[in-house]
């Protein structure tokens, strides 16, 4: 599989938020993604800064990318808090899965 932004996003879509159970891409937690040579940089947030699962989420993101793209040498995950996450960042599929109306 070719290492593209969409392919990496597809890999990240398989990473569930451990508290909500939906994928981090559909939840709108991935803010930015950059690919340079054999390095993937992911800027993401959590649903709340008080979330105790930062380390677990970082590891899950790194593992998802490295498993799908063995040619990647490093995955850097940076947690950012601006802009703050809000439910408006979720995809319509995530809102539907949570029973929220459009």
- Structural domains of the chain in order of their starting residue, each with its CATH number: 5-95 (3.30.300.130)
The torsion angles phi and psi of 55, rounded to 5 degrees, stand at: -65, -40
Q: Report whether the peptide linkage leading into residue 77 is cis, meaning its omega lies within 30 degrees of zero.
A: no
In this predicted model, what pLDDT tens digit does every residue of 4-50 receive, in sequence order?
A: 999 999 999 999 998 889 999 999 999 999 999 899 999 999 988 88
In this predicted model, what pLDDT tens digit does every residue of 71-101 receive, in sequence order?
A: 999 999 999 999 999 999 999 999 999 888 6
Q: Which helix (H) or strand (E) holds 41?
A: strand 39-44
Q: pTM (2 decimals)? A: 0.91
In this predicted model, what pLDDT tens digit does every residue of 39-70 receive, in sequence order?
A: 999 999 998 888 888 899 999 999 999 999 99
- pLDDT on residue 101: 67
SS3 category, 16? strand
């Amino acid at each position: 599989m070719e290492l593209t932004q969409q392919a990496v996003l597809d890999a990240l879509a398989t990473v569930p938020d451990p508290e909500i159970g939906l994928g981090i891409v559909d939840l709108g937690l991935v803010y930015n993604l950059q690919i340079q040579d054999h390095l993937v940089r992911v800027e993401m947030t959590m649903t709340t800064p008080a979330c105790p699962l930062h380390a677990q989420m970082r590891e899950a993101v790194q593992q998802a990318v490295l498993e799908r793209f063995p040619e990647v040498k490093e995955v850097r995950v940076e947690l950012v808090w601006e802009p703050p996450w809000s439910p408006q960042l979720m995809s319509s599929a995530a809102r539907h899965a949570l029973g929220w109306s459009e």
